Amino acid sequence: MNIDYFCFSVPSLNTTDLIFKKSDDENVHLFKIKELELMQNAKRKHMLIVFNRQDKKFYDEFGPVDVKDKVIFPRSLVIYEQELLNALSSSLANTLETNEDTLKIEKWPLYIKPLYREIIVTTFAEFRNNALKYKEYFKNIFIQTSKKSDIHFILKNYGYLDLGYKKMFISKPKINLRDDEQIFLSEAFKYVGDFNNIDSNIYRAFIINKELISIARCHLRYKCFIPEEVIFFVNDLLKQINEVKDFPSSYTLDVGEMIIDGKRVIDIIEFNSLCSSGLELGNNLVKEITRKKILKRR
C-alpha cells in the first residue's frame, strides 16, 4: 500500500488536538497515545503533513506543501473531519476518503447486510410513530444513531402513555433525539468476551483501496493475536463488499464474536470513516504503508 502523506488536522502549527487532559477517560487517553504514535512514525518516514485550521493551508516540517495529486491518508477528530476532507478535495489532493464517501459509510446498512441479523434504517420519528409494530418485530431492540457517536443502547421498555387528551411516547432509557435523526434498529445481541473476560472480542480492520491493511482488537488494554477465523471472515466479506456498486474503497470495518439465536458467530458490527476512526492497539498502519509512487484512488 503506497501513499505520499498522512495528513492531520491541527488547531495551529504549534499544537494538536491530542493534548492530554485530566478529564480524559481511559479510552480517550489510549486514542491520543495511538494518534501521537502514528504522527511520530509518519514524521520519521517523512510522510507527515498537517492541515492548519487557522489559515487553511498544508505544512510539513519545512513549510507549506502543495498537496495537488498527492495520495493522502486523512486523520482528524470527527468534528473537524468534513473541513479537512473539503480542504483536501479543493486542493486537488488524491485523498483516500472524501466527504461523499463518509456519507455512504454512515449509511452502510443500505449497501451491505450483516450475515446473522437484520438492520432497519429509519428515523426516530418513524420509530416513535410505529413503536408498537417494532415491539412485535423485535424481542429486544438495539438502537443507535447512524452518525458516529456514543448514542447506542438496548431499550428496556418503550411504548405510549395515554394521558386522555393525547398519547405520549416514553422509553427506558429516555431517548433524546431529533425527529429527523437517522437511526439503525436491530435485534440486541451479546458479545463474546475474551478468556480473561476483560474485553469483548471486537476487531477493527482498516480497509484501504479495497485491501485489508491492518486489523487489531478494539478497546483492548493489552496486545493480542487475531484469530484466523476472524481474518478469514474479513477477507471473505471484502470479496462481497468490493462487488457493491459505488461503495467507498477505504474505511474501517468493525466485526465481532457474538451470540445470536444461541449461536456463537462472527458478524459485522459497523463501518466507520477512515479519517476519524481510532487506531486501537496492535495496528500496523505505518508498517504496512510506504511512500512510493502515486496510487490512483479508484
Q: Is the pLDDT of residue 112 over 90?
A: yes
CATH code reported for the domain at 103-112+191-286: 3.30.470
Residues 117-142 pLDDT 10s? 999 999 999 999 999 999 999 989 99
* pLDDT tens, position by position, 178-197: 999 999 999 988 888 766 65
pLDDT at residue 295 in the model: 35
> What is the rounded distance in angstroms from the CA atom of residue 69 to the CA atom of residue 295?
10
Residues 2-39 have pLDDT tens digits of 889 999 999 999 999 999 999 988 778 888 888 898 89
Question: How far is residue 38's CA from residue 278's CA, in Å, rounded to a whole number?
Answer: 11
233 contacts 66 by C-beta, under 8 angstroms: no
* 219 has pLDDT over 90: no
- C-alpha–C-alpha distance, residues 64 and 30, integer Å: 30
Calculate ∠ Cα 271-73-121, nearest 5°: 20
Q: Which three cell numbers stand for residue 2?
A: 503506497
Q: How far is CA 54 from CA 9, 13, 94, 288, in A?
A: 10, 9, 23, 32
